[in-house]
Amino acid sequence: MKQILIQDTNGNLRKELRDFHVALTTQLRDWGLADAAQVVTVADIGIYQKGIVAKVLPEGFVYVGLEVKHVPEIIEKTIQHGEKIASLAFEKKNKQLRLVLRNCGRIDPENFNDYVANDGYQGLVKALEMGPERVIEEMKKSGLRGRGGAGFPTWMKWNITRAVPGEVKYIICNGDEGDPGAYMDRSVLEGDPNSVIEGLMIGGLAIGASQGVFYIRAEYPLAIERIQKAINECYARGLLGQNILGSNFNFDIEIRLGAGAFVCGEETALISSVEGLRGYPRPRPPFPSVRGLWEKPTAINNVETLATVPYILFHGGEAFGKIGIEGSTGTKVFALTGKVRNSGLVEVPMGITLREVVFDIGGGVLNNRAIKAIQTGGPSGGVIPEQFFDTPIGYESLQKLGSIMGSGGMIVLDENDCMVDISKFYLGFCVDESCGKCAPCRIGGTQMLAILKRISDGKGVDDDLKKLNEIAMAMQKASLCGLGQTAPNPVLSTLKYFEAEYKAHVVDKKCASGKCVKLVSYSIIKDKCTGCGMCGRVCPAIAITGSRADKYSINTEKCVSCGQCFDVCKFGAVVRQ
């Protein structure tokens, strides 16, 4: 039996889709083929803006731009004879490349054998055969850079830590993922815990550490549970402890929980937290590679980095280095969220363009609205407006645009998002999470936030934008750790690309997107109002009254400018000013 999948993505092709579906089912019946093929409407085939899309199984032919007139040809050629119709066919390219997420969703994360059956711990076997120096050499060939955000070459970090004299060394897995909207690490810890453990062991071997620490935030209970189970299993099988795999390599792992402070993702604050102290950052140098946990040389790597390591060791650094672009090799996992159709995790080779990620993989913007920008790198990153979407993704290329790769958050912003509001949100996050140890971050952040609040309340004054720039400079230069140094980035990058929008707030006291509620007012045009009353039903402030005969109107005294009436009105009768 064949299956014909027809994509129904709730688009604006409802009628055409229904006609096509009816034509296909009735004609199949007329041909006496009703039992030979099942017509299935499916939620998504992953092809957009191509009209009606169908896929025929088991052959896997994908047809696009379908109309009712194509039905007989499809039935005759494809259903009866299994032939492909070249004029309708579409080759769907899979733009994702899953190396880090290779096992996520494919294996049972709590089953040790499942991981081993999928080349699990083969990287460690190779690493033990090669020895520390050659492991680091292999990492150098791979060109892997830290996936936590800063992009420091992993081999170099390991090499430095290895070179520092000392009997006792530590390696820490940084699982304190705190960027708003980013959850790559959680997925890897939950979906493939053994890969991170294997990466940590290889790292330990490379730097000469016999103790590894997982630092995971307490908000990830399932991740902690799965990592703990995987560690227990490794101990039970003798894969952790003394003489691992018959070698003279000894390694132990313990878990430490983060109590939910964003600053603890910063390596020196993380070390303080593991030591049981308050999560305050320390001045660097000395860097953790020289003096880290318990004053001993320590390497700290991000979850995604460590999950990549077994792949590199097993398949070779050169193979990995061929993926991606010069200076940014391999793949990167992004958490694609915001106003995008398919939100979720994507793993793509470096060098792919932002447009491909948002439109080809993400399926474009929700509700067919116009895209405005994407935010990358979380509170340390910035926004990238649409005109730069054809930039290949890499550490340097994103930095040039005033943003960063960061840990991999990617938030799609559409025309309904206000840039002042966005920078207020990210800065507010950093002000909340500032540990308060150094003045530039503690006071600078608060002052910048006060200015942004003033602007969005319509009380901005002329030199506010200049002041924002000045304080931002001071914070970047004088803050103690990465949190304060990067906290102004979202403000600076929105100022760079959307200065006109800031000026509209300050000078004209207008917010075009309607997000700054104090700058907008709503009213109803009587002539356009049909009296349906939808606006009155959704109004949370009971500010809209009227009847079918009298039409509706808004009481501006009661109105809270939430904009729900604007969104719900199908007749364009509600206007925003």
Binding site for another protein (CB under 8 A): 1, 3, 5, 8, 38, 40-46, 55, 57-58, 101, 103-110, 113-114, 116-117, 119-122, 125, 183, 186-187, 190-192, 220, 222-223, 237-239, 241-246, 341-347
CB of 111 vs another protein, minimal distance in Å? 8
What DSSP string describes 391-460?
SBP-HHHHHHTT---TTSEEEEEETT--HHHHHHHHHHHHHHH--SSSHHHHHHHHHHHHHHHHHHTT--
CA distance 19 to 40: 14
225 or 457, CB closer to another protein? Answer: 225
CB of 537 vs another protein, minimal distance in Å? 27
Query: What distance lies between CA 411 and its chain's CA centroid?
Result: 7
CB of 173 vs another protein, minimal distance in Å? 17
Contacts of 326 (CB under 8 A, 6+ apart): none
105 or 166, CB closer to another protein? Answer: 105
CB of 44 vs another protein, minimal distance in Å? 5
3 state DSSP class of 117: helix
84 close to 34: Cβ distance less than 8 angstroms: no
458 phi and psi angles, rounded to 5 deg: 85, 15
121 or 280, CB closer to another protein? Answer: 121
Contacts of 22 (CB under 8 A, 6+ apart): none
Nearest to 249 by CA among 121, 116, 143: 121
H or E stretch covering 333: strand 331-338
Asked whether the CA dihedral 348, 352, 353, 355 is positive or negative, the reply is negative
98 or 442, CB closer to another protein? Answer: 98
CB of 362 vs another protein, minimal distance in Å? 10
97 or 520, CB closer to another protein? Answer: 97
Kindly report the number of other CB atoms within 10 A of residue 367's CB atom: 10
CB of 94 vs another protein, minimal distance in Å? 9
104 or 524, CB closer to another protein? Answer: 104
238 or 572, CB closer to another protein? Answer: 238
CB of 341 vs another protein, minimal distance in Å? 8
Joined together, the tokens standing for residue 284 give 């660097």
CB of 252 vs another protein, minimal distance in Å? 13
108 or 254, CB closer to another protein? Answer: 108
Contacts of 261 (CB under 8 A, 6+ apart): 269, 273, 279, 433, 435
